[in-house]
Structure 1
Amino acid sequence: MARILIIDDSSFQRGIIRKTLLQAGYETVEAKNGREGLLQARDAAPDLILLDLVMPEMDGFAVLTELQKQQNRVPVVVVTADIQEITREQCLALGAAGFLNKPVKTEDLITAVQGGLGV
């Protein structure tokens, strides 16, 4: 069973995503900000990371930058309400494997997770 790390400051969003992933047979780990997310990325050994961009303490761009510096190879799918094309391009340039807009549709989330996992 693949382990998915959900990094999002919204407990509501984490809950929606967690429920969807659990129903699809995935294990989940959560972090409420980027700093906590980097620790979980190291300690929980996730197979994939779902990353929000706008968070306190450390935003998603900083997380992507730090993961890149650490040469972390865990695929990252950005999940954000920011629909600007430049934002998407920046995330992909920083190594994101995918990009989803909030609110996330169940089928899009599962497709992105499967794609990121290479399933």
Structure 2
Amino acid sequence: MTISILICDDSNVARKQLQRILPEGWAANSQIVKNGQEALDVLRTEKIDLLFLDLTMPVLDGFSVLKIMQAEAMVINTIVISADIQDEAKKIVEAAGALDFIRKPISATTLIDILKKHKLL
């Protein structure tokens, strides 16, 4: 079975870096978007199995995306990847239902560990 991944980050470098470190041989299709509004547009129209979500973005930030996902009862495995790793941000993200919160930049080893931890790999 192929897993459908959405990467949402306003940084082109961060998006490409995350795509590059996705596990080799993993049956996954990934697509990228640049802000939270674009992410919601995709989430509302396509089946996404895993969302990698940045917090600080223009147009619509990751906190707002999580809040809207909750309000619209979207149940999507979400891993937040952000440089904003403050305790308050972590609490908000966890309360909004994200699986995990990872500090940018992320290494391939950390990504694989997180995916295995949540039985996504």
TM-score by length of 1: 0.91
CA change 1:86–1:79 in 2 (3 A) is same
Name the structure with the higher helix share.
Answer: 1
Structure 2 counterpart of 1:69, one-letter code: A
Structure 1 counterpart of 2:61, one-letter code: D
State how far apart, in whole Å, the 2-side matches of 1:22 and 1:40 are. 23
The answer to whether the aligner puts 1:59 opposite 2:70 as a matched pair is no
State how far apart, in whole Å, the 1-side matches of 2:96 and 2:64 are. 10
Moved more, 47-56 or 26-35: 26-35
1:1-119 matches, cutoff 5 A: 1-21=2-22, 23-25=24-26, 26-116=28-118, 118-119=120-121
Count of residues in Structure 1 that have an aligned counterpart in Structure 2:
119
State how far apart, in whole Å, the 1-side matches of 2:18 and 2:46 are. 18
State how far apart, in whole Å, the 2-side matches of 1:40 and 1:103 are. 24
Q: Percent identity?
A: 34
Report the CA distance between 1:9 and its aligned residue. Answer: 0.4
Report the CA distance between 1:38 and its aligned residue. Answer: 0.5
Query: What are structure 2's unaligned runs of at least 5 residues?
Result: none
TM-score by length of 2: 0.90
Structure 2 counterpart of 1:44, one-letter code: E
CA RMSD of aligned residues (A): 1.6
Report the CA distance between 1:46 and its aligned residue. Answer: 1.1
Query: What are structure 1's unaligned runs of at least 5 residues?
Result: none
SS state at 2:94 partner = helix
State how far apart, in whole Å, the 1-side matches of 2:25 and 2:103 are. 20
Report the CA distance between 1:5 and its aligned residue. Answer: 0.6
Report the CA distance between 1:22 and its aligned residue. Answer: 6.2
